[in-house]
Amino acid sequence: MKRIGLLGGMSWESSALYYSLINEGVRDRLGGLHSASCVLISVDFAQIERLQAQGEWQRAGEILAGEARRIEQAGADLLVLCTNTMHKVAAAIEDAVSIPFLHLGDVTARAVLDAGLRTVGLLGTRFTMEQAFYVDRLAAHGLEVLLPGPEDQAVVNAIIYDELVLGDIRDESRRRYQAVMKDLAGRGAGGIILGCTEIELLIGQGDSELPVFATTRLHAEAAVTAALAG
């Protein structure tokens, strides 16, 4: 079994979900008392969020690249960045290590294509929705990505940062997300990418009339597959 390196803490709520899903995946595939071999570094999200808000992406990338090097030095054989938004600085992280980097955008795109879909709606932080780094990565796989309108983007982002990263799960917020997803369906989306790891704390397949692509779960499953390959 290869050792999985987890770069988390953005937020720790979703990183805890990563840890659970990866260990459950290893247990389910190998049986018995098996669990994952992994190394986790969890950063202080307050520092990273402040850099996000200030547009200091280069500095954020430097911090995460340094932590990625520490993960490799701790014996990790592959690297998982446990957040969608900070894939904006994926190149800086990849350049800092020699171990394989499992890009969340690629994992998600493959899952959408395997489901036979080409047009999907995307929910995430405002950075993920507004900026090109994530949408372009998906589009490079041949996907058409639909985004919520500006007002809906503001709602989706506020629920993430004001509630979900704090573990605050509200039925009212679930209903607001469902309205956004319904609008995307009406515009032609064949599925919905839950493009923020915290969204899965709020939304599951039972909350959507369309197939949902839970990026945390997909990423965790891909990490288990990579760890057990060969």
Q: Which residues are known to be catalytic?
A: 83, 196
Taking each continuous run of H as one helix and of E as one strand, the counts in the chain are 10, 7
Give 160-169's long-range contacts (Cβ < 8 A, gap of 24+). Answer: 160/124, 160/125, 160/196, 160/198, 160/199, 161/49, 161/125, 164/11, 164/13, 164/196, 164/198, 164/199, 164/201, 164/202, 165/11, 165/13, 165/45, 165/198, 166/13, 167/13, 167/201, 169/201, 169/202
Query: Are the C-beta atoms of residues 72 and 97 closer than 8 Å to each other?
Result: yes
Q: How far apart are CA 128 and CA 152, in angstroms?
A: 14
DSSP structure string for 147-163: ---HHHHHHHHHHHHHT
